[in-house]
Amino acid sequence: MRALVTGGAGFIGSGLAHALVAQGNDVVVIDDLSTGALRNLPSGVIYPGPLDILTDAPRIDPYVASADCVFHLAGGVGVEYVLKNSVRTIAINVVGTEVMISLAAMHRKPFLLASTSEVYGNAFGPLSEGLASEETSSLTPYARSKWQAEQIALAYHARGQASVVIVRLFNVVGARQTWRYGMVLPTFVKQALQGSDITIFGRGDNRRSFIDVRDAVSSMVETMQTTAGRGEVINIGSNDSVSIAELAGRIKRAVRSTSRIVHIPYRETYRSSHLNPHERIPEISKLIALTGFRRRYTLEDSITDAVSYVSYELVPTDHRHRGAVVG
């Protein structure tokens, strides 16, 4: 098949592109490169140059028309990026989703929307898909905009205008995830590699379930391929969890770092403990029922890949091997 992937030069999008290409599919990547990087792309993908889904719909339209399905992953990534680019992030999440799903609807192409576990707000887990509501998602503008994107997609599906599946991703980690936008695991890896303090906001007892990007994208592909998932919202994540403090310790040991692990009170940062729920763990029975999901990669596997990629990022550009790609 030919798949179109928006945000395909980013962390999860490029992981999806790699998985699709490895299966023998043709892949078209739409990305404005605001946070993605061309080096993330596998060889053989079709990349027509930087395109903005907010302004370049006429140029994107032919690629949707020639695709068999659309994976919509374009969006802001990381706390720091979202805070610095909040207006554009909301526009991409809401308006950009409507642009892309309207094109998919016009050409009758199946549409997968990548959403986020943040729509659960401070709800306590295990988090089943029915727990999210407008009230829980309204804790942050980012979460609210992703919730609105979900409602747009579901409305198209309910009216029979598009065949839609929505996946809520929980803490995806691994190869090609940059530290540049405040993502916790690669940030800890960078600090450990440099021997600087590994900084934990608050006590670090809040727990998260991390899933390797390879497991996440294979689940996305399988979810798109099963028609039983159409019209559904499906969690993609791991039901194992680890505290942030424990994560820092695992990374320090993996890197054999001399870094100290230090705790910074929320009041000394731009973050808020209110927006950092104690636990965010998914209920994944729907995913298992639809796809037979089983994890293939451990957190240690993800840390190993993150160390490799962040090490590459920290090498000055002019010292990198020409054409090197971290896989």
Asked if 291 and 219 touch (Cβ cutoff 8 Å), the reply is: yes
- Provide the 3-class DSSP secondary structure of residue 187: helix
Percentages of the chain per state (helix, strand, coil), in multiples of 5: 45, 15, 40
Q: How far is CA 216 from CA 264, 276, 293, in A?
A: 31, 23, 10
Is residue 322 exposed (0-12), middle (13-18) or buried (19+ Cβ within 10 Å)? exposed
Q: Is 142 a catalytic residue?
A: yes
Q: Which of 142, 156, 297, 309 is catalytic?
A: 142
Which of helix, strand or coil describes residue 115? strand
SS3 311: helix
Contact 75, 16 (CB under 8 A): no
Catalytic positions, written as ranges: 142
